Structure 1
């Protein structure tokens, strides 16, 4: 994403809490800051894309942080309440804030097809449209801060649940030596089909979950956040709690750094050698 933003003509500086992960970007002419405080001081717009709310807070706020005449665009997966808390805190420090979580991963970034969900003032979407267009072809204004965060969690719930559901069906078919392509042909012509099934099919069949777009450990973090959020809103989370247990088992079996469809190996374990 940093490369796409730079290629679109924007000046960009990056910071990562693990500095080694950011250093590779210097090979592409992107400035790397050794501290988040110095980065915030040097720019007008701050984009956060971090693992969770606590990581955002620790990166954004210090005794020396000032946000006067600065805008924070929050793109991480967090809860609506957490997003509102960030807005209130940044506003008190003189800055502007809106949320813009995205749907998609590395392939969509490369193809400039991320879906951006904007929560804030509608003017925020319009003002930063050129920035978003460097990696997106669909920018959707959702409403006030918190609304886009809610949609992002709802979408990520489908990632977890659909992957688990497909894994169960696929595993059952393979145990019964059923032609998977015949199953897929029927599925594609039905209302049950989701494109992600085909997108990840070869990964399932080959049990190839290296080069992750979305590591399993991050899906576990998101699922736990979803369960907490949904329960607070009176939603029965029993189906998702089952998926959480499957993902948790996958992480315990050292699949945490594998791509999220690796939960298939928990649902339909590989044959013992």
Structure 2
């Protein structure tokens, strides 16, 4: 039985995941639209070659359109009797559409978006948010556990829904912390004392310390999760939650902040660069008197 995994999309996360799977003793090949070498992983030149050599096709691409293009390009010849695992972040409705398309072409589909970024991919400590048939999850236990801790949330849509829920928290918590840290700095409050008190309170989230130095040093160039991708995910959450009767007005401001960051040139920088849009340069023109 062919147990080779073909990782499709060798960007920052796809490359790290492919290397981790290979290091775990699994047979892995990789494909990227723009050819890219990945240490320890054999790469192939076309999607067709990927499907010929691998029975499991693992997608880590930018968005739904890219996912759909991969499936449509492979067609029945590349999908039939294959398992398609999608770790790309897309909306639940989009994931359901992909699943229907894959199944119509004779394949099987599993949602497996991940919580964590490049360091967790390298060490096999990602959290995998699974949606799909339990039987398929059981068959894929070895590669899933090679990357981290898999949690089966239920049928198709549930893994994608959980992923958007988590990523909404990434954006909202980072924006909230940016506002508080900005006021602390502007009012001359001791940052160390503020953080020490925060850590001992029920308000603390570890992500605050994770991004604190970036914000204090205004250093955002090293990105495990770029700002432009967070903007995409917040837009997906807003549109998906809006169809479920959830008021998302609070996210309108967050989208605006993220858009400003992208327009300012931070799109490929770490998402904590939203701090620069929240805490503006303190000039008379930016000061409001009540």
TM bracket (short chain): over 0.9
Separation (CA, whole Å) in 1 of partners of 2:71 and 2:282: 47
Report the alpha carbon displacement of residue 189 of structure 1 after superposing the two structures with TM: 1.3
Give a deviation string over 1:98-153, Cα, whole Å, max 9, x none: 111110001211232100111111122222121122221x2111000111111100
Structure 1 runs (4+) deviating above 6 angstroms are: none
Q: Structure 2: which 5+ residue stretches go unaligned?
A: 1-16, 284-290
1:218 to 229, 246, 250: 229
2:165 to 149, 154, 177: 154
Give a deviation string over 1:220-246, Cα, whole Å, max 9, x none: 111111111111111111111110000
Whether the 8 Å contact between 1:37 and 1:64 is mirrored in structure 2 is: no
SS of 1:134 mapped into structure 2: helix
Question: Normalization by structure 2: what TM-score?
Answer: 0.88
1:265 to 2:276 alignment: yes
Report the alpha carbon displacement of residue 169 of structure 1 after superposing the two structures with TM: 0.4
Whether the 8 Å contact between 1:120 and 1:144 is mirrored in structure 2 is: yes
2:91 maps to 79
2:138 to 126, 129, 135: 126
Per mean C-alpha deviation after superposition, the further-off stretch among 251-260 and 224-233 is 224-233
Equivalent residues in 2 for 1:13-28, closer than 5 Å: 13-19=29-35, 22-23=36-37, 25=38, 28=39
Equivalent residues in 2 for 1:196-215, closer than 5 Å: 196-215=207-226
2:191 to 170, 180, 202: 180
Report the alpha carbon displacement of residue 18 of structure 1 after superposing the two structures with TM: 2.3
Whether the 8 Å contact between 1:36 and 1:60 is mirrored in structure 2 is: no
Report the alpha carbon displacement of residue 32 of structure 1 after superposing the two structures with TM: 1.2
Whether the 8 Å contact between 1:101 and 1:149 is mirrored in structure 2 is: yes
The two structures, once aligned, show a CA RMSD in angstroms of 1.4
SS of 1:269 mapped into structure 2: coil
2:57 to 22, 39, 46: 46
Separation (CA, whole Å) in 1 of partners of 2:223 and 2:124: 19
Q: Structure 1: which 5+ residue stretches go unaligned?
A: none
CA change 1:257–1:271 in 2 (3 A) is farther
CA change 1:37–1:228 in 2 (3 A) is same
Whether the 8 Å contact between 1:6 and 1:12 is mirrored in structure 2 is: yes
Length, aligned pairs only: 266
2:47 to 36, 45, 53: 36
Whether the 8 Å contact between 1:215 and 1:257 is mirrored in structure 2 is: yes
CA change 1:157–1:64 in 2 (3 A) is closer
1:90 to 102, 116, 119: 102
1:248 to 248, 259, 262: 259
Whether the 8 Å contact between 2:95 and 2:157 is mirrored in structure 1 is: yes
Separation (CA, whole Å) in 1 of partners of 2:75 and 2:156: 26
1:110 to 119, 122, 127: 122
Report the alpha carbon displacement of residue 65 of structure 1 after superposing the two structures with TM: 4.4
SS of 1:61 mapped into structure 2: helix
